[in-house]
């Protein structure tokens, strides 16, 4: 990698960059110091959505700049921000799942089933299906299907019905986790113990131990088996 240079077009302007670089590294190689359109550099944060075309394909393509390698004659533009609708709600004061969803995002029912969202998702999710599951009231399924969403905005940018699938999804997941999943018993018990001060004495004791004593206790720990 690094030896052979290929032409790419950044917002229409030609640069020669080494083959094999990601779009993000190619931008930097060309001389850009990124402010927008760059975040985790590892495919987690959705800051670096990019649209591009390659010769011989009439379709517009999309991807994450930090994950997508450049190819010869790629012409590209970053899409670091896309204005969307985000409903405001109080998770402690919500009604039944479906009713709340339709109140917050009434446009969800306008989904055309065109599946454009699926074809653009860099996480290979199927927003159409998680939106459909949410609309059926199957929040468990919708939460599961949307979990890997990095909120990059590409599905919303391309949706002809102007839905914001990922904002629907985060509401659904939060609702599901808070109101439809039990609170673990062991967690409730431990929190109650801590609130009642049951661990204070043990902690005070060890925090006051001499370094020698601490080292001894540390060495004597017994490990739970893998």
Examine residue 79 and tell whether it contacts ligand FES (CB under 6 A): no
Partner from ligand FES, ligand SF4, another protein, none contacting 147, C-beta within 5 to 8 A by type: another protein
Window contacting ligand SF4 (CB under 6 A); options: 16-24, 68-76, 160-168, 208-216: 160-168
Q: What residues between 186 and 215 interact with another protein by CB under 8 A? A: 186-191, 194-195, 199-200, 202-204, 206-207, 211, 214-215
- In the complex, the smallest distance separating the C-beta of residue 211 from another protein, rounded to whole angstroms, is 6
Which of 64, 76 has the CB closer to ligand FES? 64
Examine residue 105 and tell whether it contacts another protein (CB under 8 A): no
Three-state SS string over the chain comes to CCCCEEEEEECCEEEEEECCCEHHHHHHHHCCCCCCCCCCCCCCCCCCEEEEECCCCCCCEEEECCCCECCCCCEEEECCCCCCCCCCCCCCCCCCHHHHHHHHCHHHHHCCCCCHHHHHCCCCCCHHHHHHHHHCCCHHHHHHHHCCCCCCCHHHHHCCCCCCHHHHHHHHHHHHHHHHCCCCHHHHHHHHHHHCCCCHHHHHHHHCCCHHHHHHHHHCCCCCCC
Among 26, 104, 152, 172, binds ligand SF4 (CB under 6 A): 152
Which of 17, 120 has the CB closer to ligand SF4? 120
Give the residues lining the site for ligand FES (CB under 6 A): 38-41, 43-48, 64-66
């Amino acid at each position: 990698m690094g030896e052979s240079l290929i032409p790419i077009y950044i917002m229409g302007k030609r640069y020669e960059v080494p083959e094999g670089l990601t779009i993000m590294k190619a931008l930097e190689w060309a001389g850009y110091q990124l402010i927008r359109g760059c975040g985790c550099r590892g495919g987690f944060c959705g800051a670096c959505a990019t649209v591009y075309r390659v010769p011989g394909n009439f379709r517009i393509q999309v991807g994450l700049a930090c994950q997508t390698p450049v190819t010869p004659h790629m012409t590209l533009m970053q899409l670091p921000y896309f204005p969307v609708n985000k409903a405001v709600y109080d998770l402690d004061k919500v009604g039944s799942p479906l009713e709340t969803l339709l109140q917050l995002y009434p446009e969800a029912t306008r989904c055309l089933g065109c599946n454009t969202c699926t074809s653009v998702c860099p996480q290979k999710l199927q927003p159409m299906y998680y939106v459909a599951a949410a609309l059926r009231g199957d929040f468990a399924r919708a939460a599961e299907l949307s979990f890997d969403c990095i909120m990059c905005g590409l599905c919303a940018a391309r949706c002809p019905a102007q839905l914001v699938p990922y904002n629907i999804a985060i509401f659904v997941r939060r609702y599901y986790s808070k109101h439809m999943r039990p609170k673990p018993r062991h967690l409730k018990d431990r929190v109650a113990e801590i609130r009642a001060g049951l661990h204070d004495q043990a902690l005070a004791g060890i925090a006051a131990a001499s370094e020698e004593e601490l080292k001894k206790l540390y060495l004597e720990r017994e490990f739970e088996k893998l």
